[in-house]
Every structure is written in C-alpha cells, then in structure tokens.
Amino acid sequence: MRHRHLSTLALALGIAVLLDVLRVWLPSVITLFGRAAETPAELLGAFALGWFLLALAAPALVRRIGARPVGLVAAGVLAAARLALTAQPGGPAQLWLACAGLLAGLVWLAATAASAPRPVAGLALGLAGNAVGHALLGTEDLVWRGGVPAWTLSALLVLAFLAASVKERTTASGEPSPTGVDEGVAAAASWRTRTPGRRAWLLCGPALVLAGQVALAPALWSAAAGTGSPDFPGLARPAGAAVPGALAVLLFLASALFRVPARPARVLWPAALLAGSVLFVTGLLVPAYLLTAAGLGGCLALTDAAAGDGRAAGTDDGGRAGARRGRAAALGMLVFAVATVAYYAAYDVGYPNWWAPVATALLVAVVAAGAPRQADPALPAPVRVTVLAGLTALAGLGAALHVPPAQARPTTAPAAVRVAAYNIRMGFGLDGRLDLDALARELRGADIVLLSEVDRGWWLNGGHDTLGSLARRLEMPYVFAPAADPVWGDAVLSRFPARSGQTRRLTAHGAPTGAQALGVTLDLGGRELAVVATHLQPPPGRDPVEQAREVAAFAGRYAAGRPLVLGGDLNTEPADPAFAEFTRAGLVDALAPARPLRTSPADDPRTQIDHVFVSPGLTAGAVRAPRTEASDHLPVTLTVTLP
C-alpha cells in the first residue's frame, strides 16, 4: 500500500477509535462528574473544556520531540484506553479512563496533523465508518456491551489502528518525497504562500460535532423516520430508517471524495450545510441531516489542498509548518468542545441554544469557501467508488437490522393492566454506564410503560437511540413526544394498540428545560384507555404548580370521560401545591396505599417525586418501587384494575 493511502487508513481508523472514546467521555462528564446536575454548570463546563485547552500544548510537544514518537505513544495510549473502557468499569475509573483516552486522542490528532497535510479522505472515511458501525450495532457501542464479541471486535479495531499507524510512520520516516526533499521540510517550505492542509485540520473538530449531532447520527435516522400520521399529529411513531440513513452516508462520502467544479461548489456546499443546520434546530430532521451530510462532505472537500509548489531543497522549516497544522487541529477540537458544551448547557442554564449548531456550520462554511484551491482526490477512483458503495450499503443494512417493534394487535379485554412509570436518565445508571439490559429487567412484565428523560440521539449522551433499543428488548411498540428538543422527551410503550394521540407543550414558567404532556389512546380489546405521560420541569427553587395545572387540564380534556392513567416524573411531593392540582382535578393518587414511596435518588431514596394518578373507578394495587441503580430514579410499578 502506498504511503499516502496508509496515512488515510491510519487517520480513518484513529478517528473511529477517538469517536468511540468520545461516546463514553461525553456522558461520563455529565453523569459521573456532573452527578445529575448536582455539580454547578460552570464547574462542569470548565472541567470539560480544560482537556481541550490542555491539548493546545500538543503542537509544541510535537515540534520539540517529533511527530513520529509523539504520535505513536499517543496512539498507544488511545488504543489502551479504548480497550480498557470495553471492560465497562463504570464509576470514577470509567471517567478517568475516558479522560486519558480523550487527551491521548487529541495529542495523536496534533501529531498526525504535523505530518499529514491532506486529512480530508481519512477524516471522511473515519466519520462515515464510525457512523456505519454505530448503525450496525443499533446505536449501542461495543464499549457498553462487553462479552467476547465486543472484546473481539474492539481488539480488531484497535490492532488495525495501531498496525496502520506503525506502518505508516515507519514508511514515512524512510520514504523520500516526490521531489527528493524530506516531506516535513518540503511541506514547510510552502508556508511562505500557505500551510497545506491547515484549513482542513481546523475543520476536524467542527466536522466531528456536526457529524455526531446531525449529519451522520444513526439515532437521528431512526428518530426522524417516524414523522406522524393524521391519527398522531405531531408525534413520532416507529418507522424504517434504512433508506434515509444510507442516503445520508452516500451524500456525505460522494461530496467529500468526488469533486464538483470549484465555482459552484463554493456556493452549493456551504449553502447546503447552513440550510441543514437551520432545519435541525427547527425540528425538520430528515432534510436537516441529509443537507448537512452533503454540505459537510463538500465543505471538507473544498479544503483538500495538496502540498504547494514552493518546496525548495535546503529549507529547514519543517517543524514550524507541522506545528501550525497541529495547532489548527487542536483549535478545531476546542471548537468541538465549545459547540457541544454550549448547546447542551442551555438545558441547565436556560438560554437559546439554536445558535450553536448554526454557528458551527457557519464557521465550516466560511473556512471552506475561502480555501485557496481544491486538489484532486487523494484516493484513486476505484477505491472511492468501492468505499462509497460499501459503506452506503452497510449503513442501510444497519438501519434495516434494527427495526422497531410492530404495532400491537387487538386482544381480548383484560381485567387489569400492569403499569410502570420510570425516569430512565437517557439509559445511564448511577455508575455512568449505558445499561439498557438493566432497564429492561425492571420494566419486563409491564403492559404499559411511561418513560421520562428519553434520549433519541443527543450527541452529549453518545448519540444513542435509547428508546428504540429499549423497545426492541421489551418487544413493545412506542409513541414518542419531544420536549426539550426533537430527540429528547417522553414516551409511552404498550402491548395494546395505540389508536390516537396528542401532545401539548407546557409553558416553561422560567424552567430552562422544555416539558410536554403526551396523551395516547390504547385499545384494550374494544375498550379505550387514555394514558398521559409527562415530566414536569420546575423553575429553579419552585414547585411546578403551573405546569401541573396545565397537565391536569390537558388530561381531563384528552380523556373525555374515558378511563385515564397519568404518570411520570412530576418533580413534586405529595404535600406540595403541584401535587394538589391533580387531586383537585378529580384524579386519584394510585400510589397512596404504599406511601411513603420514595423514588429519588436511586441509591438513597429520600423524595417522592415519581407518581401515577388514575381516574375514579380504576383501582390500583401491588404498588412497588423496586430498588435498582439502573437510573438515578426508581421505577414505579402497579396493577390497575379496570371497572
């Protein structure tokens, strides 16, 4: 394999490994360091950004010691951290292993930038390859799975990355440049006109956040596939995502690896990227990720510049040019951190966050549109076509393999139904692990499940479709309603057919995180049961009495005289005014026979904030809040006898 192809392969594999580590590091910062919002947002942000600021010293380290030794050592630490995380240690060990892997990955990236002026092909293949792998795994990373298959596949990925890195750097150290001049010296000599590849390396970080959050997010493919129907206005129902997911990969790779004439490309790709980012914040997810995928790949291609013609023998300036590219890579990853933290901090601090993805896309568009010239593709046409076809087909296969459960069929009318209400904290337990098997064990046996804090693709949590994965385990179809943004909210899963539904966005009343009420009508063998799932979000230091009043009124109108079950994380105690709004509306506290029934925090329950109410005529029994640390709340389960 030629040296430049080895460089592309090593970079692609390294990006895939780094993304695996980031999918652990991001939620670990929130769940373990942040401790479910107990840590002040300012301290949390400083901790997260600190690792990226520390990595700004990497280019100086590379220049002093050399790109090859620094890159190889950093690659080894990154690979070791990635394998260690597969052991699923949870707790502080997981957090610090992920931090070590992240820092090593940032140093490796700077070292790679110092010696590789053309990263676009490797970056594109790494982003697309990781997304395809995520899709094939049903958005559940190998890191969280454990067992022999996960260890085997993880080891193969890591060994391939290390082998390509060692081979590439060994070949590079002894291979003359095409002009007979040392590659570092030759590339640096062209700095008098420009540093080749510096723009592309600057876009590495922004590309990672836009790909993970929008363009190449398999969880988003499945979350956006169900766009509602006349019976479910505004609600997302299960649907297939194979075609749009494959199309996103196809558009990204085609625009990144194949060239459009420069004049139209400088308008087409930035415009598509900006349009996609705007559509994302408005909730139009399918066109958002398709346009973002095409625009992101095209903007990366615009920055793909070969080494200039200014090479001159005897110009000993190599370290300076490499350091500039390394610095660009480090600054780009700092943009990644700022954009990620800024978008999600809004849900704790309370400010408009729509600007974060749009500003990131604008940065990419400006840098790409201003690139001096576009080089020919780094990979031969047969290789590009093969990779494009293979990854596109695998993306479609991955989405097709993980279809949601089919709609339940009508059954005979039951005398009673088993109900569960659970705040699942996006699938993360108190130990910081994504453990959907543990959640499924607590919910198995329920006929109707009301879920709060449901994540369908937040990049901050690793980009998982928690709802889809949990529904497949329980073999229960679902209805999802967004609250904070299009992929975070509440859901109802049921073994009975869902006939109609409605959602009502709740007024914030000063709370930073959005809230809604989801009503679903279930067919219980010819009898209808109205179910309402919600998660009240109180303003800081206040009881959510206004939202409770809105939900109680909505539930009464939606039920329209039918039997009703209402539940979720209501963030209010039985003696509080918000709780009284439900009883004042004529609803019955279904958990009263088991009071006090403390549900939070899961490791030391002190508060009763998860509740279920029923309409008069329904009888509740067998009420439990089983002890588990699969979330930071305990689930509430009960049997509801129908009249």
Task: Answer whether 256's CB lies under 8 Å from 124's CB.
Answer: yes
What percentage of the chain exceeds 90 in pLDDT?
A: 63
Domain that holds residue 361: 3-401
Of residues 139 and 405, more confidence is placed in 139
Q: What is the Cα–Cα distance from 445 to 430, expressed in whole angstroms? A: 23
User: Could you tell me the maximum CA-CA distance found in the chain, to the nearest angstrom?
Assistant: 92
Q: Which of 336, 369, 401 is the C-terminal boundary of a domain? A: 401
287 upstream amide cis, omega within 30 of 0? no
Chain mean pLDDT for the chain: 87
Task: Answer whether 508's CB lies under 8 Å from 536's CB.
Answer: no
What does the pLDDT read at residue 372?
81
**Are residues 91 and 211 both part of a single domain?**
yes
How far is Cα of residue 561 from the mean position of the Cα atoms in its chain?
A: 41
**Are residues 395 and 428 both part of a single domain?**
no
**Are residues 303 and 370 both part of a single domain?**
yes
What does the pLDDT read at residue 44?
85
What does the pLDDT read at residue 232?
60
Residue 410 lies in a domain: no
Task: Answer whether 289's CB lies under 8 Å from 163's CB.
Answer: no
What does the pLDDT read at residue 22?
96
What does the pLDDT read at residue 39?
76
Residue 487 lies in a domain: yes
**Are residues 257 and 320 both part of a single domain?**
yes
**Averaged pLDDT, 235-246:** 68
CB atoms within 10 A of CB 557: 11
Structure tokens at 85: 């995380």
**Averaged pLDDT, 499-510:** 90
pLDDT of residue 165 exceeding 50 = yes
Binned at pLDDT 50, 70 and 90, residue 284 comes out as: confident
Structure tokens at 590: 């279904």
Residue 164 lies in a domain: yes
Task: Answer whether 220's CB lies under 8 Å from 459's CB.
Answer: no
pLDDT of residue 19 exceeding 80 = yes
Residue 277 lies in a domain: yes
Q: Which of 378, 401, 424 is the C-terminal boundary of a domain? A: 401
Residue 408 lies in a domain: no
What does the pLDDT read at residue 89?
76
**Are residues 364 and 476 both part of a single domain?**
no
Residue 387 lies in a domain: yes
Q: Distance from first CA to last CA of the chain, Å, rounded? A: 74
Binned at pLDDT 50, 70 and 90, residue 184 comes out as: very low
Number of domains in the chain: 2
**Averaged pLDDT, 11-30:** 95
What does the pLDDT read at residue 588?
96
- Residue 36's nearest CA partner among 631, 634, 635 is 631
Residue 151 lies in a domain: yes
**Are residues 162 and 263 both part of a single domain?**
yes
Strand-pair partners of 613: 566, 589
Mean pLDDT is lowest, of 139-143, 310-314, 359-363, 457-461, for 310-314
**Are residues 396 and 457 both part of a single domain?**
no
Task: Answer whether 206's CB lies under 8 Å from 360's CB.
Answer: yes
**pLDDT tens digits, residue range 382-394?**
999 999 999 999 9
What does the pLDDT read at residue 2?
55
Q: What is the Cα–Cα distance from 18 to 301, expressed in whole angstroms? A: 22
* CATH number, domain with residue 34: 1.20.1250
Binned at pLDDT 50, 70 and 90, residue 243 comes out as: confident
What does the pLDDT read at residue 132?
95
Mean pLDDT is lowest, of 81-90, 206-215, 234-243, 605-614, for 234-243
**pLDDT tens digits, residue range 78-105?**
999 999 998 877 899 999 999 999 999 9
**pLDDT tens digits, residue range 45-61?**
899 999 999 999 999 88
**pLDDT tens digits, residue range 257-266?**
998 888 899 9
- Residue 488's nearest CA partner among 347, 357, 352 is 347
Task: Answer whether 291's CB lies under 8 Å from 279's CB.
Answer: yes
DSSP 259: P
**Averaged pLDDT, 555-562:** 94
pLDDT of residue 324 exceeding 70 = yes
b/e sequence 222-245, b meaning 16+ C-beta within 10 Å: bbbbbeeeeebeebbbbebbbebb
Q: For residue 210, with 0-12 CB atoms within 10 Å meaning exposed, 13-18 middle and 19 or more buried, which class applies? A: buried
Q: Global pTM?
A: 0.90
What does the pLDDT read at residue 316?
37
**Are residues 591 and 502 both part of a single domain?**
yes
**Are residues 380 and 474 both part of a single domain?**
no
pLDDT of residue 173 exceeding 60 = no
What does the pLDDT read at residue 226?
58
* CATH number, domain with residue 547: 3.60.10.10
What percentage of the chain exceeds 70 in pLDDT?
A: 90
CB atoms within 10 A of CB 207: 29
Structure tokens at 2: 């030629």
**Are residues 184 and 296 both part of a single domain?**
yes
Strand-pair partners of 451: 422, 491
**Are residues 348 and 482 both part of a single domain?**
no
pLDDT of residue 67 exceeding 80 = yes
Strands in 428-515 per DSSP E: 448-455, 478-485, 488-494, 498-505
**Are residues 382 and 446 both part of a single domain?**
no
Binned at pLDDT 50, 70 and 90, residue 402 comes out as: confident
Q: What is the Cα–Cα distance from 43 to 626, expressed in whole angstroms? A: 33
What does the pLDDT read at residue 315?
35
Task: Answer whether 114's CB lies under 8 Å from 326's CB.
Answer: yes
What does the pLDDT read at residue 118?
87
643 upstream amide cis, omega within 30 of 0? no
Strands in 434-571 per DSSP E: 448-455, 478-485, 488-494, 498-505, 516-524, 527-535, 564-569
pLDDT of residue 180 exceeding 50 = no
**pLDDT tens digits, residue range 532-558?**
999 999 988 889 999 999 999 999 999
Residue 427 lies in a domain: yes
pLDDT of residue 428 exceeding 80 = yes
Q: Which of 370, 401, 432 is the C-terminal boundary of a domain? A: 401
Mean pLDDT is lowest, of 92-101, 182-191, 529-538, 557-566, for 182-191
